[in-house]
Structure 1
Amino acid sequence: MNIKEFVNDKNILSQYENDLRSLVEIPSVSGSTEGSYPFGRECARVLDKALEISKGYGFMTENHDYYCGSAILGESGTEIGIITHLDVVPAGTGWSYEPYTITADKGLYIGRGAADDKGPLLMGMYAMRYFRENNIALPFAVRLIMGCDEEVGSTDLEHFKTVRKPPVFSFTPDADYPVCVGEKGIMRIKLNLGKAEKAIEGLNAGTVSNAVAGQAVAVINGKEYRYKGITAHASTPEKGKNAISLMAKDLIEKGIVPESNKTAFEFIYKSAGEYLGSTLGIAFSDQNFGYLTCVASVLKIEGGNICQSFDIRYPTSRTFEELYSAIQSTITPHGFEIADSNKNSKIKEGYFKSPESREIKALTSACEEVLGYQCSPYTMGGGTYARSMPGAVAFGARIKEYADLLGDGRGKAHDRDEYIAIDEVKRGIEIMIKSLLNIGAAYSG
């Protein structure tokens, strides 16, 4: 059976749908430790199911203490990795379909995890099936790594690296095609802007650390002030409008801010009103990534202090420590201080891989052959498993033509009615098969 016949085979697609449904039916939100299950019972249950499916297709399997698992094709000492995850974000509300099953409708597979990342996980597994079932040997083993903590902290891969040697090269189908050759570093930092006067009874803006604040509320002298902006992911702040800046500007102009807090509010207004990091003294850009982005995300009063949090995505030509030091130098003269940061995180630094490497060229060529158009490698501000594993890049599984089929706010990863298109599955499996063939040819040449 050739590749086209394999990906279009009705029995293969039926098996894929059934396998995907069996994984999506398990609400595997990464949670607290339960006994020997580091991310809770549901993540353990979905890993057991994924390993059961893998074993059923003849692959050797490994359970890495329920942090993650592996399905392995071949026995070579050299390994190529496909890094995926089984944990999902909570379904939330407002779905038009049942979130924890698979509904096949309008040419789509719809359900939580269909795109992020249970669907792509199975695409990797089915690419491996093609080689096994057609007795096609590769000059390396293929290890499908199935994690359980990608959405929370990627501690699953940290554990993997203590029990197994990382593959020589890996890709994670947890972004968009073509190849993402670089991800910006991620800094999360909280600044203490000083004691809030008693007149300021409340400040509450933003809901998550990695997004432009869409709403802001201040209670001053018993009166409530509400402001609405436009939220956007921290990697694309230009799409948003920060409610924190709107609030600070209005309160300053109306003379409502207590005198002793005016410096803090001026700083809040300026830093939340731009997204290049100029106010923090860290603005810069480089040729691989473009400009640094800096988003004011959450504003609160904590322990009587005004605390403003920032999500900073930075090009890899500067380090976390350099930016941390620059921020300290900028804020100290104002009497502000750093209250907290992700300084000790193991996944804060980004990566950049040469687009000219043989592996990147192999993936790019496969992508172009299947999709039929030029596929130039790109960089991004988002974060994937690729920053957690040496020699890894993000590659797929979203194909741009299938990205917005249900309209704004629906269908994408983390959205309501999350989906992966059936044609996207077929083309994605084909891309992965050809990518492995191309890498094999590059390694054998």
Structure 2
Amino acid sequence: MSAGAALVVEATPRLIGHLAVPGDKSISHRAVLIGAICDGETRITGFGRSADTEATIAAVRALGIEVYEHGADTLRVFGKGLRGLTVPGRPIDCANAGTLVRLIAGLLAGQDGNTFELTGDESLSRRPMERIAEPLRRMGATVETTDGHLPLRIEGGALHGIDYALPVASAQVKSAVLLAGLYADGESTVVEPAPTRDHTERMLAAAGAPITTRPTSVTVRRAERLSLGETEVPGDFSSAAPFVVAATLVPGSELHVHGVNLNPRRTGLLDILERMGANVTVYNRRPIGDEPGGDLEIHSAPLVATTVTTAEVPRAIDELPLFALAAACARGTSVLRGAKELRAKESDRIDATVDALRAIGVRAQGRDDGFAVTGVPARPRGGRIASRGDHRLAMLAAVAGLASRDGVRIEGADVVDVSFPGFFEMLEELRRTSAVEQPDRY
């Protein structure tokens, strides 16, 4: 597909088969960034290759780190220690990667006496950056934003620890403070209003950082050296989620997704779907790298409406557009509350999700911090959905096409490459095999 390309996803009678999704994007970012400040080699297997994670590889290379690539999903990162990053001769381009720009800012804040500039594409440049600049300034770094956005200039300084209560639940802001805390005198503690993904804490602990985790807070102290050695990246739950919802909505489906990250701080969608009556079973639970993992078995099932509350939002933030689509096919009116953060993503995901549902004949209403969707237990009619440059909206549109009566035309479908290159190819292969395979019987 060319830039801005349109793609039609036709309705399918059923989805049957087995698949494995690419490595977790959030963990892949962290493995490269933390590997860069480790002593010696870090070997990463299961790396989730995407436009976003490619930007992270390019960023650490710009900082003087050697990264060798072996095939699609194995990397060797040759770290230069906590203070071995070098100043590039040009700004570091973070492309569209929000995780990259916010996490790397924490590392650069600790490079005492050096100045760095971070830039990004048009979409990333619209996203708020004061949320990381403010705590890093409190720690002693000099951080300048451009009216609260990119470009962002960081001058590393002699940092000191802080106690920081997150104004909004954000794993990215939490991680920025924790990474800066590796360089700070004293202790740095982040208190969360609600639990967010803890991939940074898990990986820092595996690398030997002095870190203490609690249910609602985490503390890190200055580190002398880190060593990660080897790390395996599990399959990305956010990449598995479109297939989970599709198999739930398309009648007669039976789908198995293997090797998925099942970190409970990431799998809020499974809890929401269970309340709605979905038939999803977790089996073969096992550690994958430093994370809990396992396999999913999904059967189609009729759904009923539910309400998603503020406390649930951080554990399902990337999957909330898919929840809206599930709600469109459920009996009754579903409501999302406390998700104003969706308005600060690659698109305004509240308005974009509501518009997408209306475009395929669903009754949906946006609210300041969420939406309400009145569902009908039947296939939506289909239609045309614009991705608005947002990979999550493009995948929502694809699932809507599978579950619709008449298919969905997706404008700007190629934006899925930001997080999941090969998504549409995997979708088409699943459609093809579903046409000939029979469900497994146990």
Place the TM-score, normalised by the shorter chain, in its bin.
under 0.3
Which protein has greater RCO, CA pairs closer than 8 Å, 6+ apart?
1
**Whose radius of gyration is greater, 1 or 2?**
1
TM-score (norm 1): 0.25
